[in-house]
Structure 1
């Protein structure tokens, strides 16, 4: 599992005084950078090998400005050409949001998915995380 800390900003809040729900997909995507680097170590968009097929976010509780948020990320499923990244946002010892992003290993020139190599699968397996962890 990968862990990243987010320091909330005043601009992250909404009119109700808590963190705007639109921030979670942005934070979750940023926390996936170490996973992206498995495929493209320098994060060069010219060499990018992934597409996002689907993502969801489930809210379990409010997040508040002025308190750090811990993002937890890891691999929850590996298929033949796709994999799931499961993520959670924690604040004050509470799981406040969770989500899953489905990524596909993709050849942008051919416009087609491509199989995950055994080496890529092995690297992904170094970051396991499931909803039950």
Structure 2
């Protein structure tokens, strides 16, 4: 598991006084960086180097997030396939689970325009961060 703490900014608050739902996509994207570094330590986004592409994301909002308190992001690997892996994310505030979701990331060759198998050494590093059984929400 990787964790990150986010301090909400004033501009992320919606008209109801909650953190806007669209903000979670950005926060969870940032929280995936440690997984991306497994594949490209320098986060070099050159098509000659970068080997990943996003295939799917989803979010489930189960509690409001507020401006006044930091948010802890927890990120795990839920599934590793031949050519893709699924990241499971949670956002916690003041001891409450407020949002959870998933992102499917595909190993990709931009030059050839095709998906490619995840190298075994990368799979082994991803496996170090597997979500504990029974933790992930449906």
Secondary structure of 1:67 counterpart: coil
> 1:31 maps to which residue?
31
Aligned residues between the structures:
133
Looking at structure 1, the residues matched to 133 and 7 of structure 2 have their Cα atoms a distance apart, in angstroms, of 24
Work out whether 1:132 is the aligned partner of 2:129.
no
Q: Structure 1 length as normaliser, TM-score?
A: 0.97
1:52-106 CA distance string (max 9 Å, x none)? 0000000001000010000000100000000000000000111000010000000
> 2:110 maps to which residue?
108
> 2:17 maps to which residue?
17
> 1:45 maps to which residue?
45
Structure 2 unmatched runs, 5+: none
Structure 1 unmatched runs, 5+: none
Q: Structure 2 length as normaliser, TM-score?
A: 0.94
Looking at structure 1, the residues matched to 68 and 43 of structure 2 have their Cα atoms a distance apart, in angstroms, of 31
Offset of 1:130 from its aligned partner? 5.1
The runs of at least 4 consecutive aligned structure 1 residues that moved more than 4 Å come to: none
**Contact 1:51/1:103 (8 A) holds in 2:** yes
Secondary structure of 2:29 counterpart: helix
Secondary structure of 1:45 counterpart: coil
